[in-house]
């Protein structure tokens, strides 16, 4: 016996498909309103970073950038991204920035120009997002784009753009520049990694609530 498809049945089927597609498409509202909405951590992008300090550019690019990223991965409980964003689960995909960081221009890394601490515009962040290695990923990701690190009179701080990304389209969903103090630590890696720890703590204590109010309420 042939089955007849009524208009009512067709409408119901289309409605179901529409709901299914909507459910699989995550937005900033989902990220900030639902702890079960997955989030993908994409690492720290150092590809355009300016360092207003002394240092060996070759060693910084070829060893230390990766070392800082690896530290965050290895100590994921200390660098509590999951807690800061109120998530049940955060996928770690810091390899999204690995190749980009290795291609950083050596001549641009060390700077003695104070204005280089604030040289990036939002359009630069859009370009940086397009260069992420996230093929095959879906949902929403967050990447920390390091604009600059500086040390003045033995005090250090870093300018970091917290950036949310639609992984399938590589569209930037939101970005905000934050400046964090370096709280010490032995050696280049630990010293500058402390700014990432401060960043995550600030998101946890203050920024998450602000962003949730802005994007999810």
Q: Where are the alpha helices (DSSP H) in the chain?
A: 7-24, 28-33, 57-59, 65-74, 81-84, 98-102, 106-109, 122-130, 187-202, 208-216
pTM, entire model: 0.88
Q: Span 114-135, mean pLDDT?
A: 97
Residue 12 lies in a domain: no
Q: DSSP 3-state assignment of 181? A: strand
Residue 123 lies in a domain: yes
Residue 137 lies in a domain: yes
Residue 25's pLDDT is 54
* Phi, psi dihedral angles at 39 (to 5 degrees): -135, 140
User: Is the per-residue pLDDT at 9 higher than 90?
Assistant: no
CA distance 206 to 189: 26
Q: How many domains, the chain?
A: 1
User: Is the per-residue pLDDT at 3 higher than 70?
Assistant: no
The whole domain housing 155 covers: 34-216
Residue 44 lies in a domain: yes
Residue 161 lies in a domain: yes
Residue 9 lies in a domain: no
């Amino acid at each position: 016996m042939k089955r007849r498809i009524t208009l009512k049945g067709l409408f119901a089927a289309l409605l179901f498909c529409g709901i299914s597609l909507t459910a699989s498409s995550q937005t900033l509202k989902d990220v900030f309103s639902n702890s079960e909405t997955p989030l993908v951590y994409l690492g720290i992008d150092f590809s355009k970073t300016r360092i207003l300090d002394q240092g060996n550019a070759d060693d910084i690019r070829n060893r230390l950038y990766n070392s800082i990223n690896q530290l965050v991965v290895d100590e994921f409980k200390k660098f509590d991204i999951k807690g800061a964003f109120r998530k049940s689960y955060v996928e770690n995909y810091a390899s999204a920035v690995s190749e980009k960081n290795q291609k950083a221009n050596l001549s641009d890394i060390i700077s003695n120009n104070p204005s280089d601490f604030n040289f990036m515009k939002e359009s630069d962040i859009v370009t940086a997002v397009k260069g992420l290695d996230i093929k095959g990923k879906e949902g929403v990701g967050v990447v920390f784009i390091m604009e600059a690190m500086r040390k003045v009179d033995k005090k250090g701080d870093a300018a970091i753009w917290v950036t949310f990304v639609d992984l399938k389209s590589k569209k930037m969903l939101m970005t905000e520049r934050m400046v964090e103090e370096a709280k010490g630590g032995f050696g280049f890696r630990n010293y500058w990694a402390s700014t990432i720890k401060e960043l995550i703590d600030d998101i946890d204590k203050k920024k998450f609530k602000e962003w949730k109010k802005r994007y999810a309420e």
